[in-house]
A and B are shown apart, each in its own frame.
With several copies, the nearest count.
Chain A
Amino acid sequence: MGEKVIERFELKYLQIVDEAGVADPSLISSFPDGLIKKFFEAIVLTRTYNERALSLQREGRLGTYASVYGQEACQIGSALALEKGDWVFPSFRESGVFLTLGYPIWQMLRYWKGDERGMKIPRDINIFPMSVPVGTHIPHAAGAAWAMKIKGHKNASLCYFGDGGSSRGDFHEGLNIAGVLKLPAVFICQNNQWAISVPRSRQTAAKTIAQRAWSYGFEGVQVDGNDVLGVYSATKGALEKAKKGGGPTLIECFTYRLDDHTTADDASRYRSGEEVKEWKGKEPLVRLKILMQKKGLLSGEYEKTVNEKAKALVDKAIEEEEAYPPSEPEDIILYTNSSLTPRQSREIKELGWQK
């Protein structure tokens, strides 16, 4: 009788390299130099791509585009923790993930130009088309993980969404199902503090998003989302646990969207320049470079090569993209189902679209 405590929870926060580039000595030790260089190269590639995409958009050569600037560590740290056979379920801001998985850059550009063929995923990459309706892809990740479990495949699914996405029913139903079935799924919330103009504080009164994991009976952790090592480590651990049958994990990457929401947005309408400036000081590349310098991993020569290689890759992709032949109008109808209905065939004829 009376009142008693029946459950206790603790939420942990993980950071391996801080804003000043100082690393936790015990946690950094397991990171081989090669991996750190991989982080660096992927961030450079992502930034290079992102900047070019933004300028292409300004020139009218792409449609509305969602910049990834500031969130590279969340995406690259987690994507590099994936293994072959794992599946990825991205939202619309995961350029860093696509690039890290080796997704053809020209296809990414093509997608943002407004071409469905940009999301005709190459056979050797297990990623879903980007999800435009926020949060709706979360149950898909649970479903794929469920299928892996049923089929006995020792893989996991990895799902990306934002702080805004965590308010949707899909988040709740998807994570809850994953918890009940103990599915091999890892959920990564990139809490970039904003959902267009709505600040995190207005998205939920919960102090963190990570703590929601306990609603579903599994573990959650908040990670410094601008610390690529921290993100890698948390994701790697979560994926391993998932594949061993330990069930899902929710990882909140605490980060910041340094650019406008998309190129159609003007963030100066709703947030202060000081806030952005403050977060620029915490961005993921600077601290990684300091760390690499200290470790002697960042020669001028190396940096130059990495930059040039990234630039060359993106340049080549832009050329490929622009040389790509346009779709046929018929394609609007052709991929609806495995075969055309009589009405669709008639429509193709009536519209004069048959090839």
Chain B
Amino acid sequence: MAKINIVQAINQALREEMERDADVIVLGEDVGKDGGVFRVTEGLLEKFGPARVIDTPLAELGIAGAAIGMAAYGLKPVVEMQFMAFSYEAIEQIFSHAARLRNRSRGRYNCPIVVRMPYGVGIKGPELHMDSSEALFCHMPGIKVVVPSTPYNAKGLLTSAIRDPDPVVFLEPARLYRAIKTEVPQGEFTLALGKADVFQEGRDITAISWGAMLHRVIDASEGFDCEIIDLKTLKPFDEETILNSVKKTGRVVIVHEATKYCGLGAEVAAFLAQEAIMHLKGPVARVAAPEAVVPMALLEDYYMPSKERIRRAFEEAMKY
């Protein structure tokens, strides 16, 4: 099996799904000739032609809106938003239309779109290139939100997202794009949406994270008997896996790049405060960004949860 990075894994998933299903198309800014600013769609234009790999005007709400019309008509559009923050213009289309089309038409129409976007801090990008606003999408009934943390699950999860009959927001941790290479099978495979991975078993602490933070958590876990959960699907998250782990450890540390306030960590913690309170030995800790927008490159490293902050949270947890 070849070792590939996340960019290649996503590219492979797109390529294989496009080969398999003529209704799958790719659209967005610079996805064609340029192959995407991160080269995720590289080579697709050459292989599938300009009717299926489409460079669009610079118009995020238009792109999302058009994809909704396409999807209702019978295509399976995979939209690329160049960076997460540039999807904000499209939020109304995603929230008021994509998320609701099936419900509003009582099942007559559905909206099988995938909205891919790189997200997250840690790439020394310009302003608004490093937001982590997954919680906004998680708050929308009807929208699934998926984040891969490895090339393997990038491919499997994207394949599932494309085949899903409903809208999926697929968040790609830009920091990881080329940072890790792992073995990924050639040929199609899927990973069920809604299922978390227990990346590592442990008895003392349940550490919950996703995307780039998973790797920080792994780093930080040395010396702790830590059960590490990679959430993978942020909405709906895998309640069972989390609950089973917390019942065992009684200690929880949630780590994410986004700010705490109404972040996804809040939902995980609130879920546990409702469903697992009797199993908790101490506070549910969230290690997250401070209440501030993502800083520019020079301060970026301070913003992102550091290994040290995560370790401190583990140490704190072990006091209970």
| Interface residue? A208 (CB, 8 A) | no
Q: Which of A24-32, A222-230, A290-298, A330-338 contacts B (4 or more CB under 8 A)?
A: A330-338
A residues 132-169 near B (Cβ < 8 Å) are 132-151, 157, 164-165, 167-169
Interface size bracket, A side: 35 or more
**Which A residues lie at the B interface, using CB under 8 A?**
63-64, 87, 89, 92, 111, 113-117, 119-121, 123, 128-129, 132-151, 157, 164-165, 167-170, 172-174, 176-177, 180-181, 195-198, 202-204, 264-265, 269-270, 326-327, 329, 331-333, 335-338, 341-344, 347-348, 351, 353
A180 to B86, CA, bound (A): 21
Q: Is the CB of B129 within 8 A of A173?
A: no
* Residues on B with beta carbons closer than 8 Å to the beta carbon of A135: 58
* Residues on B with beta carbons closer than 8 Å to the beta carbon of A353: 302
Contact of B165 among A120, A141, A338, A342 (CB under 8 A): A338
**Which B residues lie at the A interface, using CB under 8 A?**
25, 29-30, 32-35, 37, 51-52, 54-75, 77, 85-86, 88-89, 92-93, 96-97, 101-110, 124-129, 141-142, 144, 164-166, 194, 236, 239-240, 261, 290-293, 295-300, 302-303, 309
A139 to B70, CA, bound (A): 10
* Residues on B with beta carbons closer than 8 Å to the beta carbon of A123: 108
Q: Is the CB of B126 within 8 A of A63?
A: yes
Q: Is the CB of A174 within 8 A of B297?
A: no
Distance in Å from the Cβ of A161 to the closest Cβ of chain B? 10
Q: Is the CB of A341 within 8 A of B236?
A: yes
Contact of A335 among B70, B93, B102 (CB under 8 A): B102
A23 to B125, CA, bound (A): 43
A129 to B127, CA, bound (A): 11
Q: Which residue on chain A has the smallest CB distance to residue B69?
A: A143
Q: Which residue on chain B has the smallest CB distance to residue A114?
A: B297
Q: Given A132-B127, A157-B69: A196 and B295 within 8 A (CB)?
A: no
A144 to B66, CA, bound (A): 7
Q: Is the CB of A327 within 8 A of B299?
A: yes
Q: Is the CB of A143 within 8 A of B103?
A: no
Distance in Å from the Cβ of B296 to the closest Cβ of chain A? 4
Distance in Å from the Cβ of B278 to the closest Cβ of chain A? 18
* Residues on B with beta carbons closer than 8 Å to the beta carbon of A87: 73
* Residues on B with beta carbons closer than 8 Å to the beta carbon of A351: 290, 302, 309
Q: Is the CB of A139 within 8 A of B33?
A: no
Q: Is the CB of A341 within 8 A of B299?
A: no
Distance in Å from the Cβ of B319 to the closest Cβ of chain A? 16
Contact of A114 among B37, B61, B75, B298 (CB under 8 A): B298
Q: Which residue on chain B has the smallest CB distance to residue A145?
A: B69
* Residues on B with beta carbons closer than 8 Å to the beta carbon of A138: 65
* Residues on B with beta carbons closer than 8 Å to the beta carbon of A202: 55, 57
A209 to B297, CA, bound (A): 35
Q: Is the CB of A142 within 8 A of B62?
A: yes
Contact of B58 among A137, A151, A195 (CB under 8 A): A195
Q: Is the CB of A203 within 8 A of B73?
A: no
Q: Is the CB of B240 within 8 A of A115?
A: no
Can you name 13 extra interface pairs (CB under 8 A) apart from A170-B62, A269-B34?
A116-B105, A119-B106, A121-B109, A139-B93, A140-B65, A150-B75, A326-B298, A336-B291, A336-B293, A338-B110, A341-B194, A343-B236, A351-B302
Contact of A128 among B89, B109, B164 (CB under 8 A): B109
Q: Is the CB of A116 within 8 A of B296?
A: yes
- Most B CB contacts (10 A, CB to CB) among A92, A138, A146, A331 go to A146
Q: Is the CB of B102 within 8 A of A338?
A: yes
Contact of A140 among B66, B75, B104, B236 (CB under 8 A): B66
- Most A CB contacts (10 A, CB to CB) among B37, B54, B57, B63 go to B57
